[in-house]
Amino acid sequence: MKNLEVLKQGYQDFAKGNVEAVAANWHNDIVWEECPGMPMVEGDAVYIGAKAAVEKVLARLPEFFDNFNLEISDFVDGGDKIVMVGYYTGVLKSTGKPFRAHATHTWAFKDGKVSHFIQAVDTATILNS
């Protein structure tokens, strides 16, 4: 399976809430760089390992957001590096206000699995909606 196909399947699995299937396509020592300013970020926003990324980020989304969703606009396929361009939508629980914020994900692949993730998101729109 090509890297882009792996990534698209991962987003489909995430939308279904199947985080285990998503993480199955990651290296165990994935480097996960969450955008500073996201509500669940603690410390330097860099997590090492699939378990840490799931527990510290993905599993915590429901603590901070209702109806969190990702609208994908496009993928830029560079082979071993792929960028997802889209929007986060949902409701920030602390304010009760909905948001739609630009988001990009940069994914690096090694041997057919994700080795590095970098998130860039308009956190100001999320936090100030």
Query: Which pLDDT belongs to residue 79?
Result: 95
Which residue stretches of the chain have pLDDT < 50? none
Residue 44 is predicted with a pLDDT of: 81
The answer to whether the beta carbons of residues 80 and 3 sit under 8 Å apart is: yes
Q: Where are the domains of the chain?
A: 3-128
pTM higher than the cut 0.85:
yes
- The CATH class that applies to domain 3-128 reads alpha beta
Q: Is 128 exposed, middle or buried (0-12, 13-18, 19+ CB in 10 A)?
A: exposed
Give the helix/strand (H/E) hosting 12.
helix 3-15
Write the pLDDT tens digit of every residue in 60-75: 999 999 999 999 999 9
